Structures are given as C-alpha cells and as structure tokens.
Homo-oligomer: A and B are copies of this chain.
Amino acid sequence: MIIVKVGGSLGIDYDALCRDIAALYKAGEKLILVHGGSAETNRVAEALGHPPRFITSPSGYTSRFTDRETIEIFEMVYCGKMNKGIVERLQRLGVNAVGLSGLDGRVFEGKHKDSVRSVENGKVKLLRGDHTGTVEKVNTHLIELLLDNGYLPVLTPPASSYEGVAINVDGDRAAAALATALKAHTLMMLSNVPGLLREYPNEDSLIPFIPATDVESYMGFAQDRMKKKVLGAAEAVAGGVGRVIFGDARIENPVSAALSGKGTVVADKANAAD
C-alpha cells in the first residue's frame, strides 16, 4: 500500500497527480491520498476578511492560529473546494474516490490544544481559543472498509479531538500516522520542491538518500514546512513504514517518478528500492 501526501502549496499540478494515481489504481495498486490546502485557505481567509495568523513556537515550528472562524474557513477549503476538487478529478478518470476529513468516522483523532505558545518580538505569549492538535490515534476501520471494497480514500485535515471537536492538525504527520497504522510499505510526501535540499532553495543540492536510523541528523537541512515532513518521516520509519519519499508534485507523473527513486528516499538500505 502507498500513502501519497500532497501539500497545499502553490505550483502543485493536481491534474497530473490525479492522472498518475488513476493509472496506478487501475494497475491494481492500493492507494490512499492525503492532501492539504494551506495556500488556498490563506487566499479565501483574506477574501472573507479574516486573514490568516501564523505563529512560531519556541522550538521554531510555524503553524496557523486556528480560532473557530478559521477552522470553518479551513473546512471550507480543505474539505470542500480541495477535497471535492480532487475527488471530482479522480471520478472523471474512472477512480471511485471517496473524500473524508479526519472528523468522518474519527479517522484522525488527537488531543485538542486550546492554548498555544507563540514567540512574538522575542517574547513567549500564550494564546487561547486555538483549535489545533496532533494526530495520536488513527481509526483505520473505515479506511480499510473502503479499501477492501475498491474505493480510493482521499483524506484531509481537520482531525477530531477525543471529544469530537474539529482540530487543525499537520497533514504530513497525519499521513505518517496513517502509514504507520496501516503498515504501508511506502509513504510519499509530495510538495513544490524536488525533495530535501542540502542548500535550500538550490534544487541541484538534492539529498537522494537518508538512512532510516539517521533521519534526525538531517533535520538541520529542513526549512519551514519541510521540518514537519522530516519529523513525519522519522516517525513513520520508526513506526515500521518501509520507506518515505520526499518528491516533486510539480511534474508529470509525480507518484511514479518518486516510486522510481526520484526525490529523497528515507529508508533502511535494504528497503531503498523496495
């Protein structure tokens, strides 16, 4: 089984992605697609007069501050426009896709963090009313039911808190938790870069291979949103996923290209070309 996570940044070619996924699905491959929608959420939030607010944690991670109004805009874009746009593309290609958020069947569950620490002008502030969390539990029953019946699940944040409240979670780490729970042989994280770069943004400095036992030591090369991908990759390979591939979602056949070794492969040496 292959879990394909595709980001929500600018430059991603969703038509090419869906064509490639449709070809693999028709060849009998079991696939799950997980997607984001951050760039479009920013655009819609601006247009609706509730512009996005990003915060930086004391440990250096950037995330969206998600009040109630923001989680509703987030759901409009992630679960509405993006998710149904992808499902429609796949249905047009003859793939029986089913789009779900982490709320549906509580596929993605985790703890609701109502308050978050933010570094502003060198000072740490505590912000309340946040709808965020991290996926701690993947309820695979619904996903397995869909896969066993020939459907292709298309998953997206938000997740559900243990109390059933919608929470914004990182999609890369959600995909890593899903790959771990389903014991996938491959987790792919596609975005608008060719993989992990030694000298970001120089695309010629691609790191082709990272030994599974040594992921943490490559964290220093990750910029911005790549940090969560490397963190997710470390969690996935530690959790038993065969390999994680960071690939390019701007090209024709992005999934097949990554499967054939393009991008950055994180694996035990034995699994690198699995």
Contacts and interface: CB of A to CB of B under 8 A. Distances in A.
Copies of chain A in the complex: 2
A81 B72 contact: yes
Contacts of A72: 81, 85
A31 interface: no
Contacts of A47: 47-49
Contacts of A77: 76, 80
B98 A99 contact: no
Contacts of A164: 88, 90-94
Contacts of A97: 103-105
Interface stretch (A117-125, A141-149, A212-220): A141-149
Contacts of A151: 105, 142
Interface residues of A, number: 43
Contacts of A176: none
Nearest to A107: B98
25 contacts: A44-B48, A47-B47, A47-B48, A48-B48, A72-B81, A75-B81, A75-B85, A76-B76, A76-B77, A76-B80, A76-B81, A77-B80, A79-B80, A79-B99, A84-B101, A87-B101, A87-B104, A88-B165, A91-B103, A91-B106, A93-B164, A98-B105, A105-B151, A141-B149, A145-B145
The 9 closest A-B pairs by CB, nearest first: A80-B80, A91-B164, A92-B164, A76-B80, A76-B76, A75-B84, A98-B104, A79-B80, A75-B80
